[in-house]
Chain A
């Protein structure tokens, strides 16, 4: 009867979304495949490598000492920023969620507004704030490794990026804390914990997945950060990986795509690895946060 035709249509119906999705996702897939291929070839016409596959593009790893300095900077930046964001968001998220103090509601409203602020347009003024910090003895310019917290220091960049991520971090952590049962909090307080102890020993371990998600997201953001380091560190091509990469790119038609792609892939690999192992956490961080209205 019509049985056969129905199954054809059914089959089409269930395959159609997948086909449609594949078409839409195509540019992304192609793009990343290209990056991968071109690192191993001299030049590519489209996706096709010309000539033999080669490791020459990767020679920067052993020929160019700058790359390791830049990578180190990027690591310091990402790690510093991540620690800062997680610590400060965890502390203030707890207070916003679990403690009552005057100004709490106002501050919550404030962070929501800040979160939607054109934060990047404040760069102009942040420039002046950083220059002012330069003038503070020791903190301004003389801290080892990160240089200080002022303009043209890695520490300064860490502070700025950390600050710009705080509104999001605070709301996300608040959301996670909100999901912890009040009974657990009360039990801790009755058993003898001070608030700080309850925070550190009881509540924080319970939301470990959330903390991890925030840390991952923050690290990935810091790893790829471009604009802030570019703007606030004068030696633009030697600050972080992203800036270094841009320096290599030059105009709209760079000469050696292969090498550029190799450096780019070098920067991309940690993200990919993180990504493969932590997809679920990252997905949850957005939907968990959305319940709090972020």
Chain B
């Protein structure tokens, strides 16, 4: 019959602070171990690094005699003779590896491996994943041997026109880019391949019916579907390359003109490169990278519409 309406009774009891804390506490219990570690090894170090960069702390000053030097370290960086070349090198390294491998090869391998029988494609992608999984030392050793002098080196052995000398000192960047590239390509490759494989069959069929050849299909059906993965991989891998130096460290340790910015920072602060550990200066170098990383991260959070990814849970705390 008619809908009964009752006059509104009092609103639910007011939310006390204690009540709010209690309903939130479950979340905190789950999160606390991870939060502790993240605070210990990310937040606090970030603050320390910023702080360190304002001092001249090093093993020569020791912990008793260091001074706060404000922005002097940064001034030193910008007037340092090595700063310009190192920055340029880093940009070259990041750009070249990104274009050739982390995005370039990733795309090529993803495209090729999705156009052959599934099993075969799988095997090829697995092979490309191998460099990433191999312990870096052995992986670099493999490349060192490729470049070695004859009669040992693989390249010198089968391509005598190369001259016979150890190739690393003569063409260090080739190998730096190759070693990092083969590792880096696998990330993009997997993302692109899975994006390609999730293109609905109907699009592909429609393109075939419309008479596209392979190149047209790639251009008009596949590449648009890869728009977001491409953007994501580019941004993420740029950051990755900017801050990676482990492979270069093992391969050349920065010799032959291959010291990139991150390695410069590491050398100054944590290896006896200059006879002492220059923590302050090394930290300043690191801060430059941290700032770039943070800015880039904020930018790409905007691009990827962060809010969409963070849906509120569908079970609510009472």
Residues in chain A within 8 A of chain B (CB atoms)? 13-14, 17-18, 20-21, 24-25, 27-32, 34-35, 38, 43-48, 87-89, 91-92, 94-102, 104-105, 107-114, 116-129, 159-160, 162-164, 166-167, 170, 182, 185-186, 189, 195-196, 199, 220, 223-227, 231, 241-243, 245-246, 249, 252-253, 257, 260-261, 264-265, 267-268, 271, 275, 279, 282-283, 286-287, 290, 292-293
Contacts and interface: CB of A to CB of B under 8 A. Distances in A.
Interface of B: 20, 23-24, 26-31, 33-35, 37-38, 40-42, 44-49, 52, 105, 108-109, 112-113, 115-116, 120, 122, 124-131, 133-138, 141-146, 148-154, 156-158, 166, 168-169, 178, 182, 187, 190-191, 194, 214, 229, 232, 236, 239, 242-246, 249-250, 262, 265-266, 269-270, 279, 282-283, 286, 289-290, 293-294, 296-298, 300-301, 304, 306, 309-310, 312-317
B301 A113 contact: yes
A111 B194 CA distance: 24
8 contacts: A46-B151, A87-B33, A91-B33, A128-B48, A129-B45, A163-B38, A196-B30, A275-B130
B301 A109 contact: yes
A3 B150 CA distance: 51
Contact of B126 (A88, A104, A220, A279): A279
Given A27-B178, A46-B154, A275-B133, A89 B317 contact: no
Contact of A21 (B112, B158, B270): B112
A242 B49 contact: no
A245 B45 contact: no
B306 A163 contact: no
Given A166-B34, A227-B246, A267-B135, A117 B42 contact: yes
Contact of B262 (A105, A114, A120, A126): A120
A25 B124 contact: yes
Nearest to B27: A101
Nearest to A112: B301
A239 to B, nearest CB: 12
Nearest to A265: B138
B116 to A, nearest CB: 5
Contact of A257 (B41, B152, B178): B152
Given A100-B316, A113-B294, A116-B293, A245 B137 contact: yes
A21 B46 CA distance: 43
B296 A116 contact: yes
A48 B158 CA distance: 11
Contact of B297 (A25, A101, A113, A120): A113
Given A220-B133, A292-B309, A45 B151 contact: yes
A253 B137 contact: no
Contact of A121 (B49, B143, B158, B314): B49
Contacts of B41: 122, 126, 129, 159-160, 163-164
Contact of A249 (B49, B120, B141, B168): B141
A163 B262 contact: no
Per DSSP, are chain B's interface residues mostly helix, strand or loop, or mixed? Answer: helix
A121 B157 CA distance: 39
B52 to A, nearest CB: 7
A124 B270 contact: yes
Contacts of A185: 314-315
A95 B141 contact: no
Contact of B120 (A18, A101, A112, A243): A18
B49 A122 contact: yes
Given A46-B154, A252-B144, A122 B27 contact: no
Given A125-B45, A241-B135, A100 B317 contact: yes
A293 B243 CA distance: 20
B194 to A, nearest CB: 4
A127 B45 CA distance: 9
A88 B33 contact: yes
Contacts of B144: 249, 252
3 shortest interchain CB distances as A-B pairs: A224-B135, A101-B27, A46-B157
A105 B48 contact: no
Contacts of B283: 124-125
B44 to A, nearest CB: 6
Contacts of B116: 14, 17-18, 21
Nearest to A99: B27
B191 A286 contact: yes
B166 A252 contact: yes
Contacts of B52: 124-125, 128
Contacts of B35: 92, 107
A34 B136 contact: no
B306 A112 contact: yes
